[in-house]
Amino acid sequence: MPEPILILVDADACPVKDEVFKVALRYGIRTVVVSNAFMMLPKHPSIERVIVDQGLDVADDWIAERARPGVIAVTNDVPLAHRAVTAGAEAIAPNGKPFDSGSMGMALATRDLMTDLRSAGAITGGPRPFSKADRSAFLQALDACIVRLKRAGHPTDTPEA
């Protein structure tokens, strides 16, 4: 039998934590929020906090080591998404963009290009502000991902509410 669905949240700069909690609680899915600093979370037995040591990629490494089929990684970090997808997990950006094996090459190349352009001074602004449309797209993508995993036989931890 496939492993239960698990949501891992790369939480330090994640703008959709509340949306993850809402959907996870509705479906009865265990959720682990990974950060390198304390943050308030809802008090619920299926929502766990993991505080990792400070350092480059420590939270990413923790998440990537637990990526497997049935895991949904919520992250805006393209290299982490690549590691998760390579391990068989699903990966969704906070704006609702799903990462998959077909899109990872382009996502990594775009990330590298933007890094180079920023370091050369060609781009001085940051990303556009997070919008209601982004939040809505994320909710739809997360829900669709959970439904797909359930159809593939991955159970939830607890009965749905």
Phi, psi of 92 (to 5 degrees): -130, 135
pLDDT score of 31 more than 80 = yes
The structure's pTM equals 0.85
pLDDT score of 29 more than 50 = yes
In-domain check, residue 144: yes
Write out pLDDT tens, residues 93-105: 999 999 987 666 5
Per-residue confidence at 161, pLDDT binned at 50, 70, 90? very low
In-domain check, residue 65: yes
Write out pLDDT tens, residues 123-153: 656 666 889 999 999 999 999 999 999 999 9
Residue type, 27: Y
In-domain check, residue 90: yes
In-domain check, residue 51: yes
Look up the CATH number of the domain holding residue 144: 3.40.50
> Rounded mean pLDDT of 39-67?
94
DSSP string, the chain: -PPPPEEEEE-TT-TTHHHHHHHHHHHT-EEEEEESS-------TTEEEEEPPSSTTHHHHHHHHH--TTEEEE-S-HHHHHHHHHTT-EEE-TTSPEE-TTTHHHHHHHHHHHHHHHHTTS--S-PPPP-HHHHHHHHHHHHHHHHHHHHTTPPPSS---
Residue ranges making up the domain that contains 134: 6-151
pLDDT score of 36 more than 60 = yes
* Beta pairing class for 98-99 and 90-92: antiparallel
Query: How many other CB atoms are found less than 10 A from the CB of residue 117?
Result: 12
Total count of domains within the chain: 1
In-domain check, residue 157: no
